[in-house]
Structure 1
């Protein structure tokens, strides 16, 4: 058994115990995530768990292998562990990315420089894993989030502006339903055209695979292939050298088959772009779901100020939720993103409500 540090104060030992608890909990998070993955991602997560185990051993040595009175991990780390067990999703990796970035080891005198460096690198590793998940979500998720937010804000602004004029409740309800359908159809159609256009542009920029058939007959002295690489963004000298290497390999093997990158380096990520139909359907459904929330009070028979206040509260809660979700996935502060989303949404609604009051009648 390792002897405890006799110079350590009670505060030092309490801090070491807290670090020990957190390291164990973080290792458990990575193991939980690894259990839900396979291949390379699983190996990376298990390696992260092993690194947290080395940090755990450091604090345990300082404590003299005394595992008594080890506290629970902090709330943030326990929450991560719970989410990992329940979901094992990109949300957990995004939160773990923020957690690694807040490591106190760089300023703690009892943590080694290697441990502080580990934590910084862990943050980049988790950022890379989270980026993979973000790419898988990017196309459809973008349409979903922006569709829901557009529905919330635009329809709240619409029904508040109309409601402030004092028109009968059925008119406000019909206006809200019309705004829901018009906006959802417009969003769905626009997203489909946008994604399809993006895919077509990327496809037009991709190398022609049949051009590889000409490589075996190219003149080594002229080497037209270098022009392809220069057109793709390489410098002149790099293009000449790379083209000569490719042609030498092709002709030495006496075959036309070239390396997979022979005709260029332009690549695009199908997962990040998404498909036109999935983006359109997601955009339509999420806009409609967002736009439905401001109309709910009138659907339930409420009128006047009560309906307006209820719609504003419901939309505010939804904006906070979507803003926090975007913040988590982007690795930014969920609270800041949530408040920003709320301010933008309520600001837009306040403008139309003010115009309704200015040009309408008193709400009764």
Structure 2
């Protein structure tokens, strides 16, 4: 299949349509605007529906409605817009509805700026909304990987009846790269007898809700949700590791930052420093075992992020005090340079 040069936002949109997404509800905010633009143009061509809602709050509740009908549905936003969607995401998680959400992150807090960032890590991996819940969160490092994870995201959402997020820093949303789009993927079939639209007049309609006024019932529901989350942690962890066998220092990075880290590893090798990389592809569930099982040759761990240090908490949890953990980050839309990371590595190692 021939590759096509596409901007990240448009490539993810095309992948969603190919994966069977037929409903999109959203609201414009930079740097994700190409997603609703693409969906507004292309969804009607395949019999789908696009609505630009009056707000992010409206958009996520429209997603709730379409997901409750059993449809494949998606929304997207960027950091402050995603903050507005958190109540709806909590409702969707509580009601056990499948959907895909893309966050093309920008600098913050507040309105911040429109440059790429990874400072929404806590918001994405710690639930974001109220109550006890999680959702799978993918962090692609290339446009092609983002495309591939869209299809997987819809399948995982349907399999576990859960919202799924793609946490995409603004650079991957805006960069143009050659991608291969699978226009006719083999789609898995999922039983959606829970949906509101499958009664066919043969039974009473399903009621989809996240309200449990009796505390005993709500506790049982939360316990059920966490059995599902345990299954996701058991089956859906994804990561890439490089050079861990003989590394003296291991970098942990995701998304665009991981791409920079790969170049750093090559440069350090020329300087006689053996460095490895752990790249979480799922930032929830996090690949704790990769961090936990580092061999004795590894003396130090360096977490690199486009933030003031959020993923470092998960690295420390996985590390369990076995190795010293250091951090290097840039924030506000600033991107770490290979030179800066190399300098930090040499500082840590006393070179």
Instruction: Say yes or no: TM over 0.5.
Output: no
- CA radius of gyration, larger in: 1
Q: TM-score, normalised by structure 1?
A: 0.24
Q: Which has the higher strand share?
A: 2
Q: TM-score, normalised by structure 2?
A: 0.24
Q: Which has the higher helix share?
A: 1
